[in-house]
Structure 1
Amino acid sequence: MGKIMVQRIFLGFLLQLITLCAADLNRLNIWPMPVSVRYGHQSLYLGKNFVLKTEGTKYADVSGILKDGFSRLLDVVKAAHVIELNFSHFDPSLLLQGIHVVILSPDDELQHGVDESYKLLVPMNPKPVYAHLEAQTVYGALHGLQTFSQVCQFNFTSRVIEVRQVPWIIIDQPRFSYRGLLIDTSRHYQPLPMIKRVIDSMVYAKLNVLHWHIVDSQSFPLEIPSYPKIWDGAYSIAERYTMADAAEIVRQLCSEKRN
């Protein structure tokens, strides 16, 4: 009886520990949840001139993929908020001056199976204060920038972008190489702004494949210049896509995949 009782107590304690850990992880606003996450209980703040550093990287960024991804990070983090903190009266050791990105591969060829892993570190009290992001490819670095944006939030009291639960140590890579989403606009017409918002949301969630089901026997809303009457099969005149519309969506999709 004594041995059985000890086993029950141990299993009960283990169950409580797992429950507490799961509850603690559920408080993290990171999606999808990284492979490994460690964090603390302190806070840092984004400096007024938050910059991108690339010293030591092997990736030249000739096409501006990383630069555009960093600009997107700033847009997502600021979310149109007005930063009102007087940085001149703020402790410099609490201000993140930027993020230092090191990419180990010079290649930016985008194909199925590309290495999308990354390591993100937000240390406490280094001098100067920089977040550090290391990835094998630029695409892993872009995922790391998205994760960094998710640990930032606007503080409505101090009116500054805050990084809570510092220090962060995040190691991550996708569980699945194919992470897709289907839009069926042949049966359920969606306006272009809605499709663009879907593409943006895919980037935030680190998805990498969009299947656009644009035509079907029920509805053919796509313009084909060589067959000018074929899009008469759309549900209505207003529920059609011109070739320019389709090209715009493809351009945005390609841009978002790279950014």
Structure 2
Amino acid sequence: MAMSENTKPGLFVGLLVVVCVVITVSIIVTRDPVPQPEPLFSQPYEYVCQDVTGSGPRCVKVVRTDDSNGTSLNVCKLTCGERRLIWPYPVSVEGMGTEMSRFIPINVMYGDISSHSTQIQDFIKENWEAFKGNLEMIHPDYVTNGVGEWTTSDTYNKFKVYVNFIIKTGVSTISRTTIESYSLNISSTAERSTVTIEAITYFGARHGLETFSQLLNYDAENNCLQMINSLGRIYDEPFFRHRGLSLDTSRNYIPVKSIKKTIDAMAANKLNYFHWHITDTHSFPFKMESWPQMHEYGAYSPRQVYSHKDVSEIVRYGNVRGVKVYPELDSPAHIGNGWQWGPTQELGTLAVCVNQEPWQSYCVEPPCGQLNIANPRIYDVLASVYKELADAFSPVQYFHFGGDEVSIDCWNSSAEIRDWMSAKYDNVTKDSYFDEWANFHSRSMEIFENVTGITDVKGILWTSSLTEAGMAAKYLDPEKFIIQIWTYQNNNDSLGDVEDIASKGFELIITNADAWYLDCGVGAWVGNGFNWCSPYKPWQTVYDNNPLLMVSPEYRDKIIGGEAALWTEQADAQTLDSKLWPRGAALAERLWSNPNGTWADAELRMILHRQRLVERGIAAERLQPQWCFENEGLCYIL
């Protein structure tokens, strides 16, 4: 308490002593016990591994007898036949045993990693935590309420599982040349199992750990985990080096946590490229520091933006999980909201026909917009965007420049562009606009290299009018650009264009819309009927789509891989998982293994793998009734 200036010490006639008596009160807090599940009843069934139809061994459900061994469905899934659990299927599997080791997650540990660099050690530790989290989520009660008592068996409680990593190099960033091969073997005693994963790079070892996670499952009878306890050797490496998903976050904003979850699912399937279509005419959600007007005008809301920190965090998150994240700034078309502010800063008009109506006259879907090629200041702004994207996505090896669906009608709607073209060309034709379109891409690449200092970047462009009928080599440099193919595999004219592009030396990424567009097959979002790329692409179509069939054998070395694309006119975080998975898994096996067989050969593993994704918290689309899962091979049509 403060004393006023009129308070005088003489007024105090005595000293008041206040004695504080401290009383200790013991409060006993009682908590309700954690609810445990009802005791499990025993079913009168078991499973035997038989080749009933002559098409290979299956887990067959039979009634138990007094002298049966009571093999559970999960044990049968682990032990029945050569092609058992692994997705995508590896190059070779030798000496896989049929006996089980049983253990609890706390007793799974990795061996000495001190010989590796600090960065690789950190990567191993982070990936290990994700792996251990997946082990816990296999427990049915853990999934529902975060608890679940493991086995009371003293033997299983004490059993140890050791995972040893032998990594021969210190490569810490995934790139075009990263070696992703690995080998894996398992040996066991009565007290322990030893898993050895050997790889040239950390990324191969990460794939090996993923494969090991698929060699185990939950043992309901003993309430613990179980794993194959002997394995001679798995050797594995990818068929294609580029195995990706393309996700659009402009039409609808996708939160950071949902992107990370998608990367987790990609890692579970050994996909290695996340193509981030981060902007479009609809919105510009990348938070610019040099030109904040971009996101101020272009983001749906202040909360629906990606900061540099967000992007860098996602890039690192992906790298640890073997997924390279790279950006797309689609241009010169697909540019609109976020570019309207030029006149306010005396830069002039940066984009034309933005949100112009009727939209059908100027673009393929609303809203419209394209860069103003007559205004040289667009390159000043692009330089800043390129620099900031390159910094956020560092290290950059691919930069997608978009380049599709340019509308000459949009450009012609601008008097500024018409006058500029007339002054530059004696006779303005469609070819004149093609020349300017091509000049734009060449100049964009040059500016990107200059402002970022990255001279070995590969630009990627979608197929477009600029790549048709022998024009790709006329307008574009195959040393600078990769062409991403979205045209149809079942269209002879399109195949002719793809063959021509490959013959001119361009590397190709295949994303043909008739198989790998994952937004197809729903109701139209403009008008009625179905959307433009219907029908729906089921996992069987995704699986059977062989990228090599897009060109003749002599040019197949130009196909570096493929991507499935999800355009988000009718997708957001609420539907993302079911749109991508398990069809993304079908893509993954096609690109990792490029199997000779068809989807029918993979069906049993696909149904099982979908269950595995769900156990990990991925809301993958249901493919069949549970009955089909428990009665293998009986859900068929003649």
Smaller-chain TM-score bracket: 0.7 to 0.9
Corresponding residue number in structure 2 for 1:86: 152
Counterpart of 1:115 (choices 158, 179, 194) is: 179
- Answer whether contact 2:90 2:235 (CA < 8 A) is retained: yes
Query: Do structure 1's residue 50 and structure 2's residue 112 form an aligned pair?
Result: no
Corresponding residue number in structure 2 for 1:20: 56
The AA in structure 1 aligned to 2:103 is L
SS at match of 2:314: helix
Provide Cα deviations, 1:189-231, integer angstroms capped at 9, x if missing partner: 2222221211111111112211111111232232324333333
Counterpart of 1:210 (choices 274, 292, 308) is: 274
Alpha-carbon spacing, 1:177–1:240, altered in 2? closer, same or farther (3 Å): same
Larger relative CO (CA 8 A, sep 6+): 1 or 2? 1
- Answer whether contact 1:223 1:240 (CA < 8 A) is retained: no
Q: Distance in 2 between matches of 1:230 and 1:215?
A: 11
Alpha-carbon spacing, 1:157–1:234, altered in 2? closer, same or farther (3 Å): farther
Alpha-carbon spacing, 1:98–1:165, altered in 2? closer, same or farther (3 Å): closer
SS at match of 2:99: strand
SS at match of 2:242: coil
Provide Cα deviations, 1:174-194, integer angstroms capped at 9, x if missing partner: 111111111111123222222
Provide Cα deviations, 1:44-99, integer angstroms capped at 9, x if missing partner: 123542211137x9x5141211222222211111227335223534497xx34311
The AA in structure 2 aligned to 1:206 is K
Q: Distance in 2 between matches of 1:151 and 1:249?
A: 34
The AA in structure 1 aligned to 2:254 is Q
Q: Distance in 1 between matches of 2:57 and 2:236?
A: 19
The AA in structure 1 aligned to 2:181 is S
Query: Do structure 1's residue 254 and structure 2's residue 326 form an aligned pair?
Result: no
SS at match of 1:187: coil
Deviation at 1:119, TM superposition (A): 0.9
Q: Distance in 2 between matches of 1:68 and 1:231?
A: 33
SS at match of 1:20: coil
The AA in structure 2 aligned to 1:123 is S
When Rg is computed on C-alpha atoms for both structures, the one with the higher figure is 2
Runs of 5+ in structure 1 lacking a partner? 1-15
Alpha-carbon spacing, 1:173–1:71, altered in 2? closer, same or farther (3 Å): same
SS at match of 2:162: strand
Q: Distance in 2 between matches of 1:222 and 1:237?
A: 12
Deviation at 1:109, TM superposition (A): 4.8
The AA in structure 2 aligned to 1:45 is R
The AA in structure 1 aligned to 2:236 is D
Corresponding residue number in structure 1 for 2:85: 29
Counterpart of 1:156 (choices 220, 224, 231) is: 220
74-83 or 182-191: bigger deviation: 74-83
Q: Distance in 2 between matches of 1:177 and 1:75?
A: 28
Alpha-carbon spacing, 1:252–1:217, altered in 2? closer, same or farther (3 Å): closer
Q: Distance in 2 between matches of 1:107 and 1:225?
A: 32
- 1:129-148 equivalences in 2 (<5 Å): 129-148=193-212
Alpha-carbon spacing, 1:151–1:140, altered in 2? closer, same or farther (3 Å): same
The AA in structure 2 aligned to 1:162 is Q
Q: Distance in 1 between matches of 2:281 and 2:232?
A: 51
- Answer whether contact 1:120 1:171 (CA < 8 A) is retained: yes
Corresponding residue number in structure 2 for 1:72: 130
36-45 or 142-151: bigger deviation: 36-45
Q: Distance in 2 between matches of 1:181 and 1:139?
A: 18
Q: Distance in 2 between matches of 1:235 and 1:67?
A: 36
- Answer whether contact 2:188 2:194 (CA < 8 A) is retained: no
Q: Distance in 2 between matches of 1:242 and 1:198?
A: 16
Corresponding residue number in structure 1 for 2:286: 222
- Answer whether contact 2:288 2:295 (CA < 8 A) is retained: yes
| Identical residues among aligned pairs (%) | 25
Q: Distance in 2 between matches of 1:211 and 1:221?
A: 16
164-173 or 205-214: bigger deviation: 164-173
Deviation at 1:169, TM superposition (A): 2.9
Q: Distance in 1 between matches of 2:194 and 2:239?
A: 28
Q: Distance in 2 between matches of 1:126 and 1:173?
A: 32
Alpha-carbon spacing, 1:184–1:192, altered in 2? closer, same or farther (3 Å): same
- Answer whether contact 1:45 1:96 (CA < 8 A) is retained: no
Alpha-carbon spacing, 1:255–1:236, altered in 2? closer, same or farther (3 Å): closer
SS at match of 2:212: helix
Deviation at 1:27, TM superposition (A): 6.3
The AA in structure 2 aligned to 1:62 is T
45-54 or 208-217: bigger deviation: 45-54
Q: Distance in 2 between matches of 1:223 and 1:70?
A: 32
Alpha-carbon spacing, 1:89–1:201, altered in 2? closer, same or farther (3 Å): closer
- 1:172-251 equivalences in 2 (<5 Å): 172-234=236-298, 236-237=300-301, 240-243=304-307, 246-251=308-313
Q: Distance in 1 between matches of 2:126 and 2:300?
A: 38
- Answer whether contact 1:186 1:213 (CA < 8 A) is retained: yes
Structure showing the higher strand proportion among its residues? 1
Provide Cα deviations, 1:14-50, integer angstroms capped at 9, x if missing partner: xx87x32799669633221111124222111235422
SS at match of 2:108: strand
Q: Distance in 1 between matches of 2:57 and 2:98?
A: 15
The AA in structure 2 aligned to 1:253 is V
Q: TM-score, normalised by structure 2?
A: 0.34
Q: TM-score, normalised by structure 1?
A: 0.77
Number of equivalences: 237
CA RMSD across the alignment: 3.1
Q: Distance in 2 between matches of 1:218 and 1:115?
A: 38
